[in-house]
Structure 1
Amino acid sequence: MSTPADRFRALHERPEPLLLPNPWDAGTARLLASLGFEALATTSLGVANTLGRRRASRQEVLDNCREIVSATPLPVNADLENGFADDPAEAAAMVADAAEAGVAGASIEDYTGDRAKPIYDFELAVDRVRAAVETARGRVVLTARAENLLHGVDDLDDTIKRLQAFEEAGADVLYAPGLRTLDQMRAVVLSVGKPVNVVMGFADPSITLDQLAGIGVRRISIGGALSRLALKSFMAGAREMRAGRFGFVADLPPVSELYRAFG
């Protein structure tokens, strides 16, 4: 009998890319499932947004994994940031805890959380992925993330070098958030042999699904963009209300539509 991780892995192996949206609670997970998405991914930014903080805690991220896993039967990939630890074994323990929470996949990144030195040294970054791979093996699909481009290190060559090393260390999926152009994405895809995830929350929005498929991207996520979009709509409606106008209610979805999604 196949496991959620088996089903999630198979979605990376077919010809068409996997569209992987990012809910932040049970309700948004069920709404996305109602639209026919085949898998979901958590977003640590989305969790932090619901808490009104810059960052969620380790336990809050794990609790959110459980909430989203239990909301639908779809496989779930967990955004585990840097594993909430510098040490490879401690970061890998986060992967183990996420697996216990029922996720089918998990990502680990090389961003330190320290703005003064945002990216782990190369060897430590690879050691962290290697430890995470050992923990993930047979339990979850492991995504390794190279975070240079999001944190002021505008070096695509180093980013590719890291992804290649993460692949050699055994990562199942490779991911460099911050790729903006189709040429950058193509360069990454051609440099590695494992499936590549592209996040469109930071990319040129004119890029289409067909174009991404054409260059060999295997998975497309959106990060915290749907959460940010929801908050933008919330703030626009609240500002209109504060100004004494209520035109936004004309655009509300029927409650019955929500009820159908929520079952």
Structure 2
Amino acid sequence: MTTFAELHHGDEPLLLPNAWDHASARALAAEGFPAIGTTSLGVAAAVGLPDGASATRDETLRLALTLGSGPYLLSVDAEDGYSEDPDEVGEFARELLAVGAVGINLEDGLGSPVVHAAKIAAVKAAAPGLFVNARTDTYWLGGGELDTRARLDAYQRAGADGVFVPGLTEPREIAALVKHLDVPLNILYSPSGPTLPRLADLGVRRVSLGSLLYRRALGAALETAVEIREGRTPRGVVPSYGDVDALSHRSDATHSDGT
């Protein structure tokens, strides 16, 4: 079986869709995606908690427990590791590895790069089997190209297996960063940015969809409700009840009320 790390060195970039529950992960796997990520926004929004606030440690671990035995390779978005203590982040990574995850995404939130590097090192020590994708938020929160390189250099030295720069969409800057790095570059797909083939040409090795699928699913639900309220027939692809129920491990169960 191809390992998660090997998927970052294939002929094409690893396109990593991000799930938020069991059904979304299994549906994506059924479409042939060999690896699935989680989306921290989807996990947080589903339980009414803020994203990026280190508030969903337990929910994230529960989701990893649910998804970790699935027919795909699982990478978990762990925000900042849910702690500023590197040892605690390392312990969380060990728990993820124990339930079947093969990758972890850790973001710096433009905090101290020294602390973030220490978290990466702690994860590699506690869970050496996890692929650590080290994210910097310089293009979302400010910092510039030079700060991006300095941070990523520190994260590479700490043991990161790949690096992630969401918000970076300018082809020239992407190509330059690819040449600068020693590890695979992960880019967040943007509908207004380069296409997947263009990102491949630039040397990007992993393309994440982040919260896009969750947000589009929510948008489709709202659109459907409004269309029905206005007396119109909703459009779009709608999986049948049976299709969705078949994604469940209890798909052989019978519901007396059909719901």
TM-score by length of 2: 0.87
Residue identity opposite 1:146 in structure 2: T
Residue 126 of structure 1 is matched in structure 2 by 117
The CA distance in 2 between the partners of 1:254 and 1:91, in whole Å, is 38
197, 208, 212: which one aligns with 1:210: 197
The CA distance in 1 between the partners of 2:154 and 2:233, in whole Å, is 53
Residue 175 of structure 1 is matched in structure 2 by 164
The CA distance in 1 between the partners of 2:198 and 2:83, in whole Å, is 37
List alignment gaps of at least 5 residues for structure 1. Answer: 112-118
Matched, 1:47 2:43: yes
Residue identity opposite 2:140 in structure 1: L
After TM superposition, give the deviation of residue 246 of structure 1 in Å: 4.0
143, 150, 153: which one aligns with 2:140: 150
Q: What secondary structure sits across from 1:198 in the alignment?
A: strand
Q: What are the superposed Cα offsets for residues 67-102 of structure 1, whole Å, 9 maximum, x if unpaired? A: 2223x3111001111110011111222211111121
Matched, 1:190 2:183: no
Calculate percent identity across the aligned residue pairs: 33
Residue 28 of structure 2 is matched in structure 1 by 32
| Contact 2:113/2:154, CA 8 A, preserved across alignment | no
The CA distance in 1 between the partners of 2:219 and 2:185, in whole Å, is 29
Q: What are the superposed Cα offsets for residues 94-151 of structure 1, whole Å, 9 maximum, x if unpaired? A: 211111121011121212xxxxxxx2223222222222222231x2111111122222
By percentage of residues, which structure has more helix? 1
The CA distance in 1 between the partners of 2:40 and 2:193, in whole Å, is 26
Residue 95 of structure 2 is matched in structure 1 by 97
The CA distance in 2 between the partners of 1:63 and 1:155, in whole Å, is 36
| Contact 2:169/2:194, CA 8 A, preserved across alignment | no
Q: How many residues align?
A: 245
Q: What secondary structure sits across from 1:8 in the alignment?
A: coil
List alignment gaps of at least 5 residues for structure 2. Answer: 252-259
After TM superposition, give the deviation of residue 15 of structure 1 in Å: 2.3
Q: What secondary structure sits across from 2:93 in the alignment?
A: helix
Q: What secondary structure sits across from 2:19 in the alignment?
A: coil
| Contact 2:93/2:127, CA 8 A, preserved across alignment | yes
The CA distance in 2 between the partners of 1:58 and 1:259, in whole Å, is 28
The CA distance in 2 between the partners of 1:223 and 1:254, in whole Å, is 22
Q: 1:239 to 1:66 in 2, by over 3 A?
A: same
Q: What secondary structure sits across from 2:75 in the alignment?
A: strand
Residue 214 of structure 2 is matched in structure 1 by 227
Q: 1:261 to 1:110 in 2, by over 3 A?
A: same
Residue 253 of structure 1 is matched in structure 2 by 238
Q: 1:180 to 1:25 in 2, by over 3 A?
A: same
Q: 1:34 to 1:155 in 2, by over 3 A?
A: same
